Chain A
Amino acid sequence: MMTYFPEEVVEHIFGFLTAHCDRNAASLVCRAWYHVERMSRRRVFVGNCYAVRPERVAARFPAVRGSPTSPISTSSPPTGRPRRALDRGLRLLPAAAAAGGRGGRAGGGCGGGAPLEELRMKRMVVSDECLETLARSFPNFRALVLISCEGFSTHGLAAVATHCRHLREIDLQENEIEDRGPQWLSCFPESCTSLVSLNFACLKGEINVAALERLVSRCPNLRSLRLNRAVSVEALSRILMKAPQLVDLGTGSFWVDHRSEAFHRLISAIERCKSLRSLSGFWDASPLCLPAIYPICSNLTGLNLSYAPAIQGSDLIKLIRHCWKLQRLWVLDCIGDKGLAIVASTCKELQELRVFPSDIYGAGSATVTEEGLVAVSFGCPKLHSLLYFCHQMTNAALITVANNCPNFTRFRLCILEPKKPDPLTNQPLDEGFGAIVRSSKGLRRLSLSGLLTDQVFMYIGMYAKKLEMLSIAFAGDSDKGMLYVLNGCKNLRKLEIRDCPFGDGALLENVAKYETMRSLWMSSCDVTLGGCRALAAKMPMLNVEVINERDESEESEESPSDFHKVEKMYVYRTIAGPRDDAPDFVWIL
C-alpha cells in the first residue's frame, strides 16, 4: 500500500518517527523506504564511534543537522580505555561538514546542504582545531554539548564563541579543559543575545567576570547558567540581579562570610529568582552560608551537592528539610544514614538519588550503609534511578528495597570494597540483587558489586528481560555466570566486565549474541588471545580489539602465544571494518 504514496507523503509520515530505533527499523523495509528515510533524517546518534566510518554517516544522511531537541551524538567506549590516542572527534566533524557540501572540504563552507546545528559528544577526544573547524564551517551552529571529553582548551571555546553568532547552548560537563586564559568569554560578540544555556562549571581557571556579566545582561532567554569555581559570591549576586529568570544555576565558589554585607546581597539576589528549580556548584560553600538559599528551596526539583564536601551531616539535614519538592538529589555520603532518613521523610517526590563517596581512601568519616537506602525506599515510592556508593550492603536490605520500589529503571550499587559479603550473614549478595531484578521489571541499567556467585547471574538471565546495560566487577565463579546473562537477557546492549573468572568458554559459546549487542568489554578476566582470535575468525561482522599495555622494559615478544591472557578486550559490531586510527597497543584481530 505504502508504495503507492508519493515520497513526500512517506517522508511526512516518517517525520513522526523520532526514535532512532524506529527510524532504523523503517529504513530496513525496502529500498524505497531506505531512500526516503535517509534523505529526511535530521539527527544521528552514534552510540559507538568506532563502529562507523564518519564518511559513511555523512554520505548516508546528507540532511543531518541536529535539531533543537535532538543533536548529533556520539560516544566512545567505557572507562578503562585510554582515550588519549583516539581522535574520532576530529574526523567526525569534517565529515559532518562534508555532509552539507557533498564531499566538500571542511572549512570550505557547506555549499547548499543542511548545516550542522547541534553536536553532543561523550568521552571523546576533541581538539581545539576540531572546535575551530566546527565553528568556521557552521556559522549557524546552535548547541555544543561535551561530556567527559578532553584534549581541548579555552582557545577552542573562543573559536566557537567568535564564529557561531546564533549560539544557544554551550554545555561543558565534567571535561578536562586546558586553561589558556579567560579571554574566551569576551569573544561572544555584542550581537550575541541568543544564549539559553551556558555551563562552564568544569573550567579550572579564572574567567573575565565583567564580560560574563555583560553577556548575561544581553541574553534575556538565558535559562541555565553554571559557573565555575572562580566566580565569587559578589559576582554571583550581580549576575542573579541581571538574570532573575534563571531556571538552573551552578553557583560558582559560593564562599562568603555570613556576617558580611555580601551575604545579605546574595540573599536578596537569590530571593528574586522565583523560577529557580535546580542548583549545583557550592564548591567552597560552608554550612553557615547555606541559609542564603532557604528562600527558594521549596521550589527546587534538582539539587547537586556532590562537589561540596564541607557541608556535612547536620547542615545537610537542615537544608534538605526545606526541599520537599526534590525530584533529583546528588549528594556525598557524608549525608549519612541519618541524613538519608530525613530525605526519605521530606522528599516524597524523589525520583533520582545519587550518593557519591567523599572519602575513598577510607579515613573513616561518616558514610552511608544499607540503612540509609532502606529508609529512602520506604519514604520515596517514586524512586526509579539510583547510584549508591556505600561501605556495606545486606541481602535483607536489598530485598526490602526491592519490595518498596518496584519501578527501578537504573540501579547501580557500588560497595567500595570488592567482593564484600553481607556483613550480617557473611553470604554473597545474590539473593539481594535477585530480588531487585525480579521486582523491577522495567530495569534497563544495572551495576553489581559485593561478593557474588554465578547464582546472581542466573537470576539476571531469568528476570532482567528489559536490561540493556550491565556492569560487573569482581563477581562470579565460572563461565556459567556470563552465559546466563548472554543467553537470558534478550535486550542486552552493553556488557562491561572486569576482574571476573570468565574465559574463552563463556566468550565463544554464544557468539551470535554479540551481533545483537552494541558492545562487550572485558578486562582482567580469563579470556586468552587464542579465544579472541577464534571469535574474530568466527564473526567477521565483529571488530575484536585487544589491548595489552606492556612495559617497554619487557622484551618484545615476536608473537604472544594463544594462551596469553588478554588485559583488555573490546568487541563490537560494525559494518565499517577494522578501524585505522587505533594506537600501537591496540591489536585488531
Chain B
Amino acid sequence: MVGPGGLNVDSSANHLRAPSRTVTLGRIQPQAPSFRTVYCNDRDANFPVRFKGNSISTTKYNVFTFLPKGLFEQFRRIANIYFLGISCLSMTPISPVNPITNVAPLSMVLLVSLIKEAFEDWKRFQNDMSINNSTVEVLQDQQWVPIPWRKLQVGDIIKIKKDGFFPADLLFLSSTNPDGICYVETANLDGETNLKIRKALERTWDYLPSERASEFKGEIQCEQPNNSLYTFTGNLVVEKQTLPLSPDQLLLRGCSLRNTEYIVGAVIFTGHETKVMMNAMNAPSKRSTLEKKLDKLIITIFCALVIMCLIGSIGCAIMTDRDHYYLGLQKNDWEYRNGMTIAFFTFFTLITLFSTIIPISLYVSIEMIKFIQSTQFINRDLHMYHVETNTPASARTSNLNEELGQVEYIFSDKTGTLTRNLMEFFKCSIGGISYGCGITEIERGIAQRDGLKIHEEQRSTGAIREKGFNFDDPRLMRGGWRNEPNPDLCKEFFRCLAICHTVLPEGDESPEKIVYQAASPDEAALVTAAKNFGFFFYRRTPTMVYVRESHTEQMGKIQDVSYEILNVLEFNSTRKRQSVVCRFANGRLVLYCKGADTVIFERLAYGMDNVRKVTGEHLEHFGSSGLRTLCLACKDLNPEAYESWNEKFIQAKSALRDREKKLDEVAELIEKDLILIGSTAIEDKLQEGVPTCIETLSRAGIKIWVLTGDKMETAINIAYACNLINNEMKQFIISSETDAIREAEERGDQVEIARVIKEEVNKELKKSLEEAQQYMHTVAGPKLALVIDGKCLMYALDPTLRVTLLSLSLNCTSVVCCRVSPLQKAQVTSLVRKGAKKITLSIGDGANDVSMIQAAHVGVGISGMEGMQAVMASDFAIAQFRFLTDLLLVHGRWSYLRICKVVMYFFYKNLTFTLTQFWFTFRTIFSGQRFYDDWFQSLYNVFFTALPVIVLGLFEKDVSASLSKRYPGLYREGIRNSFFKWRVVAVWASSAVYQSLVCYLFVTSSAFDGKNSSGKIFGLWDVSTMVFTCLIISVNLRILLMSNSITRWHYITVGGSILAWLVFAFAYCGIPHDRNANVYFVIYVLMSTFYFYFTLLLVPVVALLADFIYQGVERWFFPFDYQIVQEIHRHEADSSNADHLEIENELTLEEARSYAISQLPREISKHTGFAFDSPGYESFFASQLGIYAPQKAWDVARRASMRSRPKAPKKN
C-alpha cells in the first residue's frame, strides 16, 4: 500500500520542477546524448575515440594571443575605443594637437591594465604548470611508472597513494582497505572537511598489485562528461558481466585520498572533461548600477562633445574667409575647398581638440579607489572581524562597493544566516510524555507578555551541556528512563537516535573526545543526544554501526552492541524522512525511521491514534516555542518480506534511468505501518545581534525579505523573533494549505491541482493587493507583511500573476517566503531586481543560496562556517549577519558617497578644462587652434589633478562610522540616489561652465596690454599658461571645498599637485628645445610680473565663490540629512564617540530583543517546525533543477547503503 500522502508530495514536487525548467539560471547541465565507452588498460582501443588529454589550462591568454586578446578585452570598454579613435585622428594632419596628447594617457591606461592582466595570467599559468607536471603512477607493462598528470589518458590504470590528489575522474577499482573502501576529502570541491567514503565494486576488489591490475580488462560504459558533481550512472562490463556503477565508485579530480594506503583506479574523464572542471563556471561578473549610470553620463558627455564640435564646425564654415590672406588659404587646399569640407574637417579637428572632455583616467582611478577600499577598508575592518570563528570580512570583488550604499531590498536565508544553525537538542516526547524542562526565549517572551512570572528552573546539578545538547530532565538522564512508564519505548527512542542517521564519528572513541561529522547539525545534535542518554555511537563501518549502550540491562552496566545496517533509505525533500533497516545481533530486523510529522503520521500502523494525538499536541507546543521537530518511528520486519523487498530495492538501485524516483517508490513499500516512538525538539538559535541589525536596517529604509525552506510556522516565528513581523502589522498569508487546494490534491489530478492552486493564488493576491492599496491610501495605516509559501509562490511567479505579486510585495514592509526552493529564491530576487528595478542584496550561507546570491545585485555569503559554496559565489563574505550593518551603513554608504563625488569631480574637472578650450575657439574663427601646450594637456589628467581625487575617494566621509550606524536614516540618501542624479550633474556642469568662463575671460581680458614695466606684450602661450595655472589651482582647491573631512593627505596631495605643476612648468619651460619652443621661458616671464600674482589671487577666488555660495545656501535652506547630523555632533570628537556608542548598542540589543519577543503572536500557532529543513537537504532539489548546488547530505548517506549487492556473490 502506498500512502496517498506520499503520492501527493511526489506529484507536487514534479510540479515544482516542470515550469521551473524554462528559467535559465546558472548552467543547465548538458543532457548526455549518448554514452561513452572506455576500455580500461588499453590505450590502443581508446585511441580512435580521441578523448581529451589530461592537461588543463585555466589561463585566459597564451604568448601569441596575449596582445590581441588582451587589447581586445581592454577595448571592450567603450571609453578606450573612443580614445583609440581620437588617437588615430590625432595622427592625421587635421589634428590641432600632437598625437602624444592622446596617445600618452591612453597607452598609460592600457599599459597598467595589461600588466595587471599579464601578471594574473602568469600566476594562473604557473599554477597550471605545477598541476600538469605533478606525477602520478600509471600501470605500464606490469609496473607502476610515474608520469606527469598531463600525459594521463582515458582508460589508464593508476595508483594513488595516501593524501594524494586524484588527477582525473577515476573509476575506483580497489583499495588497500578491507571491503574495498577508501576515504575521500572533498574540501576543494565544496569546502567540507568531513571525510566521505567511496566503495569499489566487489568484483574489482582484488585488482590491487601491479601484476594483478595489469590483467584487468574492463569496459566502462558511462554517461558523457557533465558538470553534476553528485550523479554518475554507468556500467562496468568485466568478463561479460555487467555491473552498475554509481557515484560511490567515482573519485573526482580535486579530491584527495585520506586514511587509505593506496587505491587503484581507472581513468574515465580527463582534463577539462572532469566534473570539477566542467563546473568551472565563471561567476557572473557584476557591474554596479552606478557604473551603468556612469555609462549614461559618459554618453551624455559625448553628446555634449558632438554638439560643441557641431557649433564649432558650422561656425568655422561660416566665418572662414579667404580675405584673411595671411592665413594662406588657397583654392587648391583640399581642406578649405568649400563650406562643406571646412565644416567636415573642422568637426574632426575639434573632436580631437575637445577629447579631454571624456575623462580617460576615470575608470582606472575608480578601480584603484575601489580596490583599496575593499582590500584595506572592508577586509580589515575590525568591526567586521568575528573573534569566535576568527573570520574577517572579505570583499571578493571590488566592483560593487558603492552598490552596497544603495541596497533597498535584502533577501536573507534563514538557517545559518539569521539563525546560528547551531542545533541543540532541547526537548522530546516519548510515547506521549513530554520531557525536557528548558524554556526557550520565545516561550519566555510569550510568558512575559502574558504577565506570567517564570521561575528559572534550577538546573539539576551536573546537568550536561555541550554543543548540540541543551536538555535536562532527571526523568531521562543517567538511566532515569528505566523507571518511566514506558522504558522499552525509551530504549527504542534512543536506539533510533543512535542508529538512524548518516553521521560519521571521528577522533577518539570516547564520549568526550569524539567528533561527529554530520551533513546537518540537526543530525549531530540527535546523535549527541543519544550519547548523553547512554547510547554512545562510536564507530561506523560501511555495514555496521557500533553503539556503546549503558543502563540497558541494569544501572551502570556498559555494553558494546553492533548493528548491521542493511539499507539506508535516503532523505530527500519529497520524502521528508529517512529510514535505516538494521539487523540486531540476535537477528531481529528493524526499520527505524525519522522524518516530518506529516509524513510519519500518514504511515503509522492502526491503533496509534491516541499516542499520535498526544504527540501531535506536543509537536504543536514545541513548534510554537520555536523548536524544530522530528518524529521517530520504528517497525519490526519479517525476514522473508524483507528479502523480497530488498530485491526490488537492489533493482531500483542499479537502474540507469530515474534511479532516484524508483528508489523513492521502493521505499514507500516498506515505510508503512510504523510504530510511533516519539518526537524530538531542537532549538535553532538566532545569530547574535540579528534583531538589532534588522531593526537598524529597516530604519535605514531597507526592506528585508526572508526566503527560507522552512515551514511557514517556523518562518513566521523566526520573523517575529527577528523583529520583521509584529502584531501591529497587517499580515497577508498566502498558503497552499487551504481546504480547496487540499481537496484538489486529494483528487490527485495534476492539471486540476495546478488550476485550483493558480486560481486560489490569483484570488488571494488580488484580494490582498486591494486591501493593501486601501491601507496605503489611509494616512496612518498599519505596516504590511506578506507571508507566502513555495507552492503558491511558484504560481504567483507565473508571468500572468507576477505583476500583482510584485506590486503587493513592494507595498509590504517585510515579506517571508517559506518552503522555497533555491531556484525560487533566485526567481524572487530577479523579480524585484528586474521587475521593480530596485537594488537587491542576497545573503546566505549554504549551497542552496548560491543561485540567489548570484541573481542579486550584491551577493553576500556568511563565512566562517562549514561549506564554502555560498562564499565562493558571493561578492562579499562576512562572518555574521549583524555585520551587514557595518557593511551597508558604513562601508556601502561611504563608498557610494565617495564614488559619486569622484565621478562628479572627474566630470567637472574635465569639463572645465575642455570648456576653456571651447571658449578660446570662438576667438580663433573655430579653427581648432589648441589653447594649451600638448604636454600641459596630456598631463592635466594623469598628473596635475590625479592624486587629490583619489585621496577624496579614499578618505571622504560625511559623518563618522558610529554616527552612520546611529542614524540609519542617512542611508536613505543612497537608496534615493541623492548624489548621482541628473540634477547633481547639472549643478556640477553649471559650476564647470562658470569656472571655465571665469578662468578664460578674466585672464584674457586682463592680459591685453603690456604686462610689466618694460611694456612687453604677452603672446598666446603666456596667456594660456596663465589660464592653465589658474585652472590647476581652482580645480585642486575645489577638492577641499567639497570634502567633508580633510585629512593631511588632502593637504599633501592638493598642495603637491599644484606644486607639481609649478615644478613641471619650471623644468619644462626652462629647457630650450624645438619641441617646447612655444612655451619656452613662459612661466619665468609670467612670474616676473605683478600681474601674475594679482590674477592668481583673483581668478581662483572668483571661480570658487559661486560654489561656495551654492554650498552655503544649500546647507542653510535645503540641508541634507548628513549635514544636520554633522551639526548635531559638531563638537564631539570622533573616537570617544565611538566607544560611547558601542555600549549603547549593546543596551539596545537587549531591549530590542525583549521587545521583539513581546511582540510574538498571542494565539498558539499550529506549528510543528520540521527539523530537516536545512540547506543541505534542499540542495538536492537544486541539482535536479539544474542549478549548481551540491547536495551535501547524501554523499554521506550513500556510503552506508553499500550493502546493495545480492547476498549470492558473497557466498561464492
- Whether A associates with B in a native complex is no
Interface residues of A (CB under 8 A from B): none
